[in-house]
Chain A
Amino acid sequence: MNTSVKVLSLSVAAAVLMMGCGKKEEAPKPAATAAAPAAPAQVVVKLGHVGPLTGGIAHLGKDNENGARLAVEEANAAGIKIGGAPIKFELVAEDDQADPKVGNTVAQKLVDAKVVGVVGHLNSGTTIPASAIYNQAGLPMISGSATNPALTEQGFKGVFRVVARDDQQGPAVANYLVATSKPKVAAVIDDATAYGEGLANEVEKTLKAAGVQVLPREKGTDKTADWKAVLTKIKGKKPDVVFYGGMDATGGPLLKQARELKIAAVFAFGDGACTDKMAELAGAAAEGLVCSQAGIPVQAAGKKFLDAYKAKFNIEPILYSPFTYDAAMLMIEAMKKADSTDPAKYLPTLATNKFKGASGDVEFDEKGDRKDAEITIFAMKDGKVAPFAIIKGGKSLTLDEYAKLGCSPDAPC
């Protein structure tokens, strides 16, 4: 609010000044007429977005940013007025390098830049610590991809996510593995990040509950390229399924090296490694991998969104851009409805608002998690991750059944 008041008064002052000048010197005309009308001047409102734009998963960070950018530009094109003044939204995009330390620095930077809300971050490991900073500053924050349950268990009022949690995603993919491969022995690997480890824990819990013997956890880091030693060790224990909690930049080499070592197990991954990039990084070895995403598949996102995204960025959306798009839209909608860009004023609206977005109906529960969030199970086929089951409300549906429910984002149920 501070900024908008400043900008307003400044532009009024400028207008008065110009008019004054005009009288004396018979006018630098175009400028004078533009500023002259009594209508309030345009107010610039800043929205933040944070994701990794450098490093191994920069492609996912850019995808998330594109989603938010599209929302902001659509809102600007629609010419929104809040508090009587025309609003121009500006996206302040920051790079957290998927590093919690950098994440906190850029979070503080956004707070200092007086953004009115933040879409992000991408990784759970950066989102959780940064959420405390936003909470202290009273800024609403919506992550379009952080799935670790701890994020919304902190009791912060302004913290939301538009994807499912890992204690929904983990059991979903684990149950799927149990049902289809009937494993006796399972190996679980993670990349020692909040996301990878958290998701791997949930998968391990579910596998154990189903009576599967789970091998001692193996770990890499989010930069590991050499998985041979770990995989060799696992190979000796002959697992039927292997689950990896981590991102595609490390998951691709892991899968490739596993097949070189002739490990025959079914490989399963979480949402971080559920992209077409896996086929590029692992080559032919990627065929048949199983993975999950904590929402509806990109292909099932609203057609309006998909077309606009392709037209604007000239590439296909990768993973969670429909969700960051919705996150930014949710904030803008809440500001419109509350008729204020003051975080304290629009936050209650944001928490209770119902919204039909590119990823379906969005409504938050009291913790800030998405109500009735979907999980999708994918398999790699011909170099693309193809969705074949959407799990909604505990029921497993095929894509066609999901579409028949009439629940597509274009016509939500």
Chain B
Amino acid sequence: MDIFLQQIINGLTTGSVYAIVALGYTMVYGVIQLINFAHGEVVMIGAMTAFTVIVAIVSAGTPLPPIAIVLAGVLAAIPICMTVGFLLERLAYRPLRHAPRLAPLITAIGMSIILQQLALLIWGRDPRAFPQIMENTSFSLGGAAISSVQIAIILMSVVLMGILTWFVYRTRFGIAMRATAENVSVAGLMGIDANRVIAGTFIIAAGLGAVAGVMYGTYYGIAHYTMGFILGLKAFSAAVLGGIGNLAGAMLGGILLGLVEALGTGYISEFTDLCKWPVVGSEGMLMERCAADGHVVLFGSNYQDVFAFLVLIMVLVFRPSGLLGERVSERA
């Protein structure tokens, strides 16, 4: 039971990171129906910037409390990522606003590659280890261990989701965003500057990405110039799972995907252990191997990365609009 609980905690933590990244995909999609494939790279740049700042502060030997150093990393990463997000929109996507749908999509993939190569030039090829400055105390929770970093990540993402929901539903800019998402030209007639709203959406998405990048880096202790690619794909799957374009959907999708991944990785080899299947284990070679090893596992935990895409395919087949979405099928 405690193992099950531990997997749930692991899943919630990764799920929180996925959710924050997925919000970036879903917000941009909601407003201009573009899948911004470069978003994963924005997350990576956030992690790398924070890494640089944190290492600089630590090696300078300033007597700051650890939490302040991490915060300084986050505060440096957010404006940098926002700038990257703004430039992406201004330089790459705005000129293609009225082009056929495929053109901005391919541009997004191109921007992703460009950002990755830029990061390679700036930060090099080595995996970068985040210095462990925070005392990573673990607390017991019903037999499972939950670390302070995990608590911080889960709390942080809940707070961010709260702020974002308030922002979108309660502020003037949020109303303008939702109006633009509904219909760009009608929103324009109501005096809303669509360019400002779209640029603002990109900037907010990139800011969230920066925080997610720092979360990921401090949690796994590692940052690498290729880390954004698979993280971005998984978060995109999470956004589709929840219903792309839908904020609550992205949050739900992210958390669910994290849980599916943790539980799937944890239990797949138990479920695909042929020796535990009464039907098969009767005679022959299989029986001998079961007797010798006690287990014959079909699919092991190395299928970890497959779950996200399995979920993506299932959603696309059985509920293309996602768990909470309605609009995808008519717009796609």
Q: Which residues of A contact B (CB under 8 A)?
A: 53-56, 58-59, 192, 216-221, 223-226, 228-230, 232-233, 235-236, 249, 252-253, 256-257, 260-262, 280-284
Contacts of A232 in B (CB 8 A): 3, 6-7, 10, 262, 266
CB distance from A30 to the nearest CB of B (A): 41
CB neighbors of A among B5-56 (8 A):
6-7, 10-11, 13-14
B147 near A224 (CB under 8 angstroms)? no
One digit per residue, 1 when the CB lies within 8 angstroms of any chain A CB and 0 when it does not, for chain B 221-232 equals: 110101100100
- Sample of 22 A–B contacts (CB below 8 Å): A54-B120, A216-B273, A216-B293, A216-B297, A217-B297, A218-B269, A219-B300, A219-B302, A220-B304, A224-B304, A225-B222, A226-B220, A226-B304, A229-B266, A230-B265, A233-B7, A233-B267, A257-B221, A261-B138, A262-B145, A283-B129, A283-B131
CB of A219, distance to nearest CB on chain B (Å): 4
> Residue B327 at the A interface, CB < 8 A?
no
CB distance from B291 to the nearest CB of A (A): 13
A232 to B269, CA, bound (A): 13
User: How long is the Cα–Cα vector from A253 to B217 in the complex, in angstroms?
Assistant: 11
B295 at the binding interface (Cβ < 8 Å): yes
Inter-subunit contact A230/B301 (CB<8 Å): yes
Q: List the A residue with the shortest CB-CB distance to B132.
A: A283
Closest residue of chain B to A259 (Cβ to Cβ) is B136
Assembly CA distance A216 to B10 (angstroms): 21
Contact status A225-B304, CB under 8 Å: no
Q: Which residue of the partner chain, among A216, A253, A261, contacts B222 with CB atoms under 8 Å?
A: A253
Cross-interface CB contact of A225 among B145, B227, B294, B301, cutoff 8 Å: B227
Query: Is A233 in contact with B301, judged by CB distance below 8 angstroms?
Result: yes
A220-B302 CB under 8 A given contacts A226-B220, A261-B145: yes
Q: Chain B: how many interface residues by the 8 Å CB criterion?
A: 44
Of the listed residues B127, B149, B226, the one surrounded by the most CB atoms of chain A closer than 10 A to its CB is B127
Judged by DSSP, the binding face of A is helix
The chain B residue with its CB closest to the CB of A237 is B3
Establish whether residues A58 and B125, one from each chain, have CB atoms under 8 Å apart when the complex forms. yes
Q: A58-B126, A216-B269 are in contact. List 19 more A-B contacts (CB 8 A).
A: A54-B120, A216-B293, A224-B304, A228-B262, A229-B10, A229-B262, A229-B304, A232-B7, A233-B7, A233-B266, A233-B301, A249-B127, A252-B222, A257-B221, A260-B145, A260-B149, A262-B145, A281-B129, A281-B221
Minimum CB distance partner of B11 in chain A: A229
Q: Which residues of B contact A252 (CB under 8 A)?
A: 127, 129, 221-222
Interface: B89 (CB within 8 A): no
Contact of A229 (CB < 8 Å), options: B136, B147, B265, B297: B265
* A225 & B3 in contact (Cβ 8 Å cutoff): no
CA distance A220 to B300 in the complex (A): 9
Q: Is B305 engaged at the interface, CB distance under 8 Å to the other chain?
A: yes
Contacts of B6 in A (CB 8 A): 232, 235, 261
Asked whether, in the complex, the Cβ of A225 is within 8 Å of the Cβ of B7, the reply is no
CB contacts (< 8 Å) of B226 on chain A: these are: 55, 223
